[in-house]
C-alpha cells in the first residue's frame, strides 16, 4: 500500500484527492493537513464524506509527514509548495504538486507571471510536467516530483496535441476560447464567486494574454511543435460548478476532411483510456465527463474556411486536477493508469 | 452472474439502472429495450456511457427477455408494466418495477389516482413494496416482484419511520414540504421542464393532496403507525437536476430534546449502511448525497412549539429510483445490500 | 422633488434602492455612502448602472447628509442604523431603515435575537413597521421613521393576513416553509454563498425557531390575530438569485372551499395594486414576480385534511426590501403607492 | 397612437414584444394572434403579465389585422412570415419581422440554409435589415418592411462594426465564439432544452460554419467591409436563460493600443444610446444587460500577438429580438430611438 499524505486537504482540489484516494485499492491516506480547520473532522467540514473519511485535519508538520507518508500530494496556493518540496525530496519522498510552482521551466516566466521568486533551477529540472497522454510516461514513472498541469492547460493541450504533433495546423494560429466552471476558482470566498454574481452571467477574465495559464500552455505547445509558439487564450467564467469546455480554432495547413482528422485523433490516442473521441457530428459536452477522469474531444472542420475546430471537455477538478494527480501517481508506482479512476462514470442527467 | 434486462433503458431512470448495473460485480446486463431508439447504440444516445456501455436498444420482445434474463428491471410510464409482468412471472423470472403499478395495495386507490384499471389483486398481493430500510428484508429476499418506491415517498418515509414507529409524534399531524429536482419529471419534453422555465424559478405542483405520491405515502405511514393516516404532502419544483429535500414537520406527543431524537434515529438505523444521521445543528443537504444511494437525515426540535423538524435528502435518481432498485436486487439475491453501490460518493463541490 | 440619501449604497439592497430611485419621477438622489468603495464611481462597482447613475460613493458624514437630504434610506448591518437615526430625526429628517433595528417593538426580543442592546423605547415607539398592505397607511404617512419589514416576513405576512384577520384558521397552527434565493444573504463573501456551494444544492438554515425573522413574524401575526402567536418558520436556501416562495400550511377552523378563500383574499386585497391572487388551480411562482414589487398569492385547500395551503411569491430584493421601502416613501409623501414602481414587470422567461 | 398587432404572441419573442409595447407611451396593442392558445387569456398563459395585459389570443386572420392595426410585428417560425407579409404590405401596413425570412438578400442563400423557397426578390429588395446602430437610420424610417436581425448576428455585428469599418483588422480573420442562453431556442419543447440536460452543461451546436446565422453575419460584414468576408462563427449553449456573450478575436493590421481602440469604439458609437463601452480592463458581462436593450462592449488587446479581442453582451430577447424590433419601430415613426425602452435597466444581482 502506498502511504499518501495530502497537504491542503480542505481546499476543493485537496478534498477531491482525498475522496479519490479513499476509493483507490492501493493507497492508504495516512496524513492530511489543513490551515483553517486544524483538529476538525474532515467529514464535519465536508459532510459528503461522512461515513467514508475519518481523518482529522492536522497542522502542517514536515517531520510527521516524512515519517507517515511515502508520497505527498500538495494542494496549496502558489508560492508555498516550493518551500516544502525540497525537504520532502531530501527525505526520499515522492511529491505531486497540484499547484503551478514547478510547471514553468523557465524561472523568469514564473517571476513574470506570479511576481514571486521561482523555484531553484535544479528543482525545476527535476520536476516532470505530468500530462500522461502527452508526457513521456517513463519520465513520470521515474520522477520524484510531478508538476500536475493546470486545468485549462490540460484541456487545451489534449485538444491540440494530435493536430500539432502531426503538423496539420499552423502552429502560431491557435485560438483557444475556454469556458470554465466556478470550482476552478477555489473555495476562498471572494465576491465575484458568489452565487448571486455568477448565476445567469457569463464573462471573460484576464483575457488577451493576461491569464497565468498562458505561459504554461505556450511552453508545452512549443515542446510539441518543436518551435516557439504564441497562443491566444481567452478564459470565461460560466455558471457551472465543474467542467471546462475548450473551443480550439486552428488553421489547417492543407485541406483535410473531418473524417481524416477524426481518424488521426483516434489513432494518436488509441492507447489512452481516458480520451474519448466523440462521434463525428456531435459536440463534446462537459456534462458527459462530469465526475470522471475522461477528456471528450470532438472534431469539426469548416470546409469553407479550412479551419479546424476541436472541442475538448474535462472535469476541471478531476482530469484537470485531482484525477490527473492520481493518474500520475499510478504511473509513478507502475500501476495501470486507470487504477482507482475507472469506476468514475458521469451521472446523467 | 445475474443476467439482467432493462425495459425502458432510454429514460432517465432506465439509463441510471444501466449505468449502475455495469459497475456491479455480480450482474451482466444482457438485454435492454427502448421504444424511441430501437437499433441505436445506447452510448450514442447517452454519450456519457461511451466506452462503457456497448448495447444497442432493442424493441421490447417478451420472449427474448425471458430467454436472455433472470431478472428484469422495468422503467415504463404507469399502466404499462402491468401488461408485461404476468408473463415474466409466469416464466419464472424476477421483476423489479420502478413505476407505480404495484405500489398501491388497494386497487381502488390506483383507479382513483391513476384513472386506469389496477393490476389484479393476486398480483398486488405478490408484490413487495421494497424500501429496504423499512420493509422486512426477508420479504424482499423471497419476492419475485418488487414495487420500487417513488422518489418522494422514499425521502418522506425515511424521515418519518423512526419517529412514527416509536410513537413520539402525533400521527395525523405530519406535514411534508418536499423540494424536488427536474430529473424526477423524466425526459419527455414538456414546456414546463424547459431550462428557460425552471432556472431562477420555484413553484408548487399538485399541492394540497393532489399529487399521486400521496396515497403511497399514506399507505406506508399507516402500516408503520398501525392506524390510518392522512398526510399533508406539498411538492415543489426547484432548479436542480437531481435531489429531493424533505422538510417534515411533526408534533411531538411529549417534550423531547433534539439529542434524544437524534439518538433514536441513530439507533433505529444503526444497521442501515445508506442512512446517515447528520451532526446535530447541521442541515441535510442534497449536494452531499448527489450521485449516491445515501439518505442524509437531520434532526431539529423547536423547544418553543414542541415540533420536531426532520430534513431528509436523497438523490431522486439513485436512492429514489435506480439505486434503490439495485439495493432491492441485492437483497433478492442474498448479496450485501451495498454491493455495486458503495463506490458512489458525492463529488463536491 | 424629494432629496433622498442612501446610506450603504454598495450592498445589494442599497444599490437596488439607488436603481429604483433613479427611475422615480419625484426623487432626486443627492447623496450615497459606502464603507468599502469611498470615492469610486458607483457605475464602476455596478456596471449595470453605467450611463444611468453618476454618483461617487461618499464616506458617511451625518452633517452632509442632513444638509443634502430630506429623506434617508439606511441599508446597513444590524446594530448600526440605531446609532445614526436619532441624529437624523433630531434634524427633522425622515428615515426608512431597511434593517431590523426598529422592527421589534419589545426591546428584550431584540436583545435575545441579535445579542445587542436594543434601540431606546422612545425610538421604537416612533418607528412604524411599514408593510403597506397590512399596516395602517395613515400611520406610515405620518411617521418619520419607518422600519421596513424583512423579506421573509413580508412574504409570510402577506400570505397569512386575510385568513388570520378573518379568523378562518387556527392561529397557533401556522407552518411556514420558506425558500429564499441567495441575494437575501447579501454581498459579503462567505463560503456558503459561493456558486460552487449553492448550485445543485438545497438546505435549511436556522430551522426550528432559530431564525431572526421568527420574532418579527410572530409579533406581526399576534397583532393581526389580537392574541399571542407562535409560528413554525423554516427557512431554506435554494439555488436562485432572487425570490422567495412561502408555502404556508394552516388548519381551517371550519370547512371552506378554495373558491371561498380565494374570494376572501381577493376582497381583502382589492385595493392593493401590488397583490395578485393567482387563478385557482395555479401555483404562485417566483419567476412571475422577479424584478417587480408584486406579491403573487395562490390558494389551495386539501378537502381531505381541511388544511389551507397558501403560496406567496415575492422578489426578496424589491417587495422584500428596496421596492417596499420606496412604496413606504410614496405613502410618506402622499404619492400614489405605485409611483416609480409600476413599470417593473417581470421579464419572462 | 400606433395601433400594433403581434402575430405569434405566445412564443418567447412574441410575448416580449407584447410586454414592451404595453409599456410604450405611443403604442396601443390592438390584436395578438396565437396558434396554440386561441381564445385564452394571455395572462393565463404568461401569469407574469397578470394585471398588465388583458388580451385574449386570437386566431390569425389577416383581414382583421389589416382593419385593426397600423404596424404588425411577426414572430413566427421561418418560412411563415413570407406568406403573410405581401398581404399586409398591399394593404398599406408596415411590418417588422422578427424571423429570418427577409434577412438574406441573396435568394439562393435562403434556399441553401433554410431548405425552403426564398421570399420573392422584389420583397427582399423592399426589406431593410434593421440594426439601427449600423444600418442607415433613414432607410429604416422610410421602410415598410423591416427584417429584424438575428440575436447572434446583432451581438457579432455590434462588436465588429467599428473595427471593420475603420479597417484596423484583417477582414477574413474574424473568429466569433458565441455563448447563448436557452431562451434563444424558443419555447417549443425539445429534449435538448430540458433543464436536466442544460444545467451544469456546456456544448457547441452547429459549429464550423453550419449555423444559420452564418450567412446573415457574413452578408452584413461584407457590406461593412465592402468586400466579401467569410467568418468563423461557433455557437455554444450555456446554462443561462437570457443573454449572449460574443468573444470576437481579430487580427490587427497594425499595432494599436487598447486605449486607441477604446477611443475608436467610443467615437463610433457616441450617438448611440444603447451601446455602452466598458471601462478598459473590465469585461462585458451578460448580467449587466439582462432585461435591457443595451449592448455592452469591452476592448482587449494582446500586445504579444497583436490580436484584438472584443467582447459584446446583449440580452438575446431584447436587443437581440423584441427590444430591437421596438427600436426599429421608433425609427419608423420618427420617435426617439429610446422611447419605451429607456426604463429597462438590469436588476443586479
Mean pLDDT of chain C: 97
In sign, the C-alpha dihedral spanning B263, B265, B267, B270 is negative
Q: C315 to chain B nearest CA, in Å?
A: 11
Could you tell me if C18 and C340 are in contact, meaning their C-beta atoms sit under 8 angstroms apart? no
Active-site hit among C18, C151, C174, C249: C151
Tell me what pLDDT residue A272 has.
98
pLDDT digits (tens, 9 = 90+) for C84-97: 999 999 999 999 99
- The answer, yes or no, to whether residue D346 has pLDDT greater than 90, is yes
- The answer, yes or no, to whether residue D281 has pLDDT greater than 90, is yes
Could you tell me if C74 and C49 are in contact, meaning their C-beta atoms sit under 8 angstroms apart? no
Say how many CB pairs under 8 Å bridge C and D. Answer: 94
Percent pLDDT > 90 in chain A is 98
Could you list the beta-strand ranges (E) of chain D: 2-7, 27-33, 71-74, 94-97, 128-129, 145-147, 175-180, 203-205, 232-237, 244-251, 275-277, 295-302, 307-314
Mutation for testing the A interface, residue in C15, C187, C190, C195 having most A CBs under 10 Å: C195
ipTM (interface pTM): 0.96
| CB-based contact D209 A242, cutoff 8 Å | no
B59: region left, alpha or beta (phi > 0 left; psi from -120 to 50 alpha): beta
Tell me what pLDDT residue D195 has.
98
In sign, the C-alpha dihedral spanning C190, C196, C197, C199 is positive
- Across the interface, of C48, C285, C346, the residue whose CB is closest to D348 is C48
Closest CA to A113 of A153, A75, A143: A153
Report the Cα D181 to chain-centroid distance in Å. 14
| Interfacial B residues in 264-293 facing A (CB < 8 Å) | 276, 278-279, 282, 285, 287-291
Range D278-304 average pLDDT: 97
D chain contacts of residue A234, beta-carbon cutoff 8 Å: 177, 247, 249, 309
A chain contacts of residue D242, beta-carbon cutoff 8 Å: 200
For residue A240, the chain B residue with the least C-alpha distance is B349
- Across the interface, of B19, B44, B182, the residue whose CB is closest to A345 is B19
- The answer, yes or no, to whether residue D209 has pLDDT greater than 90, is no
Q: Active-site residue C151, yes or no?
A: yes
pLDDT digits (tens, 9 = 90+) for C261-305: 999 999 999 999 999 999 999 999 999 999 999 999 999 999 999
pLDDT digits (tens, 9 = 90+) for A133-185: 999 999 999 999 999 999 999 999 999 999 999 999 999 999 999 999 999 99
Mutation for testing the D interface, residue in A112, A203, A285 having most D CBs under 10 Å: A203
Q: Is B205 helix (H, G, I), strand (E, B) or coil?
A: strand
Tell me what pLDDT residue A209 has.
83
Residue with cell 470565461: A236
Q: Residue A309's pLDDT band (boundaries 50, 70, 90)?
A: very high
Task: Give the integer Cα–Cα distance in Å for D271 and C56.
Answer: 25
- Across the interface, of B232, B241, B311, the residue whose CB is closest to C302 is B232
Q: D269 to chain B nearest CA, in Å?
A: 32
- Across the interface, of C207, C236, C241, the residue whose CB is closest to B200 is C241
Task: Give the integer Cα–Cα distance in Å for D147 and D128.
Answer: 6
**Torsion, Cα of D112, D116, D122, D123 (10° steps):** -110
Closest CA to B119 of B133, B136, B102: B102
The end-to-end CA distance of chain D, in Å, is 36
Could you tell me if C345 and C274 are in contact, meaning their C-beta atoms sit under 8 angstroms apart? no
Q: Residue B209's pLDDT band (boundaries 50, 70, 90)?
A: confident
Cell of B102: 404495484
In sign, the C-alpha dihedral spanning D321, D322, D327, D329 is positive
- DSSP string for residues in B74-100: E---TTSHHHHHHHHHHTT-EEEE-SS
pLDDT digits (tens, 9 = 90+) for D169-189: 999 999 999 999 999 999 999
| CB-based contact A193 C194, cutoff 8 Å | yes
| Interfacial B residues in 148-187 facing D (CB < 8 Å) | 181-183, 187
What residue segments make up the domains of chain D, in order of their start? 2-126, 152-316
Q: Which residues contact C142 (CB under 8 A, 6 or more apart)?
A: none
Closest CA to C247 of B285, B237, B204, B248: B204
Q: Which residues contact C36 (CB under 8 A, 6 or more apart)?
A: C10
Q: Residue B210's pLDDT band (boundaries 50, 70, 90)?
A: confident
pLDDT digits (tens, 9 = 90+) for C99-124: 999 999 999 999 999 999 999 999 99
Tell me what pLDDT residue D40 has.
97
The correct answer on CATH 3.30.365.10 for the domain covering C2-126 is: no
C chain contacts of residue A187, beta-carbon cutoff 8 Å: 191, 194, 196
pLDDT digits (tens, 9 = 90+) for B176-197: 999 999 999 999 999 999 999 9
| CB-based contact B305 C240, cutoff 8 Å | no
Q: Containing H/E element for D197?
A: helix D195-198
Mean pLDDT of chain B: 97
**What pTM value is reported for the model?**
0.97
C1 and chain B: CB distance < 8 Å anywhere? no
- D152-316 is classed in which CATH architecture? 2-Layer Sandwich (3.30)
Range C224-237 average pLDDT: 97
For residue B283, the chain C residue with the least C-alpha distance is C204
Q: Residue B208's pLDDT band (boundaries 50, 70, 90)?
A: confident
Could you tell me if B241 and D199 are in contact, meaning their C-beta atoms sit under 8 angstroms apart? yes
- The answer, yes or no, to whether residue C209 has pLDDT greater than 90, is no
- The answer, yes or no, to whether residue A210 has pLDDT greater than 90, is no
The angle formed by the CA atoms of residues C97, C102 and C108, to the nearest 5 degrees, is 155
Percent pLDDT > 70 in chain D is 100
Could you tell me if D280 and D334 are in contact, meaning their C-beta atoms sit under 8 angstroms apart? no
Q: B242 to chain D nearest CA, in Å?
A: 8
Tell me what pLDDT residue C208 has.
87
B225: region left, alpha or beta (phi > 0 left; psi from -120 to 50 alpha): alpha
- Taking CA atoms, D187 is separated from A301, B188, B189, B190, D148, in Å, by 31, 15, 11, 10, 19
A52 and chain B: CB distance < 8 Å anywhere? yes
Task: Give the integer Cα–Cα distance in Å for D252 and A254.
Answer: 24
Could you tell me if C302 and B208 are in contact, meaning their C-beta atoms sit under 8 angstroms apart? yes
- The answer, yes or no, to whether residue C17 has pLDDT greater than 90, is yes
Pairing between β-strand C203-205 and β-strand C128-129 as defined by DSSP bridges: unpaired
Longest dimension (CA), chain A: 62
Task: Give the integer Cα–Cα distance in Å for B319 and B74.
Answer: 16
Task: Order across the sheet with D71-74: list the strands.
Answer: D27-33, D2-7, D71-74, D94-97, D145-147, D128-129
Could you tell me if A178 and A158 are in contact, meaning their C-beta atoms sit under 8 angstroms apart? no
Q: Which residues pair with B72 in a beta bridge?
A: B5, B95
Q: Containing H/E element for C313?
A: strand C307-314
C chain contacts of residue A239, beta-carbon cutoff 8 Å: 195, 199
Q: Which long-range contacts (CB under 8 A, 24 or more apart) does D102-111 make?
A: D102/D127, D102/D145, D102/D147, D103/D127, D103/D129, D103/D147, D103/D149, D103/D150, D103/D153, D103/D216, D103/D219, D104/D215, D104/D216, D104/D219, D105/D219, D106/D219, D109/D215, D109/D219
- The answer, yes or no, to whether residue D210 has pLDDT greater than 90, is no
Task: Give the integer Cα–Cα distance in Å for C253 and C232.
Answer: 18
| CB-based contact C199 A12, cutoff 8 Å | no
- DSSP string for residues in D68-124: H-SEEEE---TTSHHHHHHHHHHTT-EEEE-SSTTT-SSHHHHHHHHSSPPPPHHHH
- Across the interface, of B15, B16, B279, the residue whose CB is closest to A44 is B279
Could you tell me if B260 and B205 are in contact, meaning their C-beta atoms sit under 8 angstroms apart? no
Amino acid at each position: 500500500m502506498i502511504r499518501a499524505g495530502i497537504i491542503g486537504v480542505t481546499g476543493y482540489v485537496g478534498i477531491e484527492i482525498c475522496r479519490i484516494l479513499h476509493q483507490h485499492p492501493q493507497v492508504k491516506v495516512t496524513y492530511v493537513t489543513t490551515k483553517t480547520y486544524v483538529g476538525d473532522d474532515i467529514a464535519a467540514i465536508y459532510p459528503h464524506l461522512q461515513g467514508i473519511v475519518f481523518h482529522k485535519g492536522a497542522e502542517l508538520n514536515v517531520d510527521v509527514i516524512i515519517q507517515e507518508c511515502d508520497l505527498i500530494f500538495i494542494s496549496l496556493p502558489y508560492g508555498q509548495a516550493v518551500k516544502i518540496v525540497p525537504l520532502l525530496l531530501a527525505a526520499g519522498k515522492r511529491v505531486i504538486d497540484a499547484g503551478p510552482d514547478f510547471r514553468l521551466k523557465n524561472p523568469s516566466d514564473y517571476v513574470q507571471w506570479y511576481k514571486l521568486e521561482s523555484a531553484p533551477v535544479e528543482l525545476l529540472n527535476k520536476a516532470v510536467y505530468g500530462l500522461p497522454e502527452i508526457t513521456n510516461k517513463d519520465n513520470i514513472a521515474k520522477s520524484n516530483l510531478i508538476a500536475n498541469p493546470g486545468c485549462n492547460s490540460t484541456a487545451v493541450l489534449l485538444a491540440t496535441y494530435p493536430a500539432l504533433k502531426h503538423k496539420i495546423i499552423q502552429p502560431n494560429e491557435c485560438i483557444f476560447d475556454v469556458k470554465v466552471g466556478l470550482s476552478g476558482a477555489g473555495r476562498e470566498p471572494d465576491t465575484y464567486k458568489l452565487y448571486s454574481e455568477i448565476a445567469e452571467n457569463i464573462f471573460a477574465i484576464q483575457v488577451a494574454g493576461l491569464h497565468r495559464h498562458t505561459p504554461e500552455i505556450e511552453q508545452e505547445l512549443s515542446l510539441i511543435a518543436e518551435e516557439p509558439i504564441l497562443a491566444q487564450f481567452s478564459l470565461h467564467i460560466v455558471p457551472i460548478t465543474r467542467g471546462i469546455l475548450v473551443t480550439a480554432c486552428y488553421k489547417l495547413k492543407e485541406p483535410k476532411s473531418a473524417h481524416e482528422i477524426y481518424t488521426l485523433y483516434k489513432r494518436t490516442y488509441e492507447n489512452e483510456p481516458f480520451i474519448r473521441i466523440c462521434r463525428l457530428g456531435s459536440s463534446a459536452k462537459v456534462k458527459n465527463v462530469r465526475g470522471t477522469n475522461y477528456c471528450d474531444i470532438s472534431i469539426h472542420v469548416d470546409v469553407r474556411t479550412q479551419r479546424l475546430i476541436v472541442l475538448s471537455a474535462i472535469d476541471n477538478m478531476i482530469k484537470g486536477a485531482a484525477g490527473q494527480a492520481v493518474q500520475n501517481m499510478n504511473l509513478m508506482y507502475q500501476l495501470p493508469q486507470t487504477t482507482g479512476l475507472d469506476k468514475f462514470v458521469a451521472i446523467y442527467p
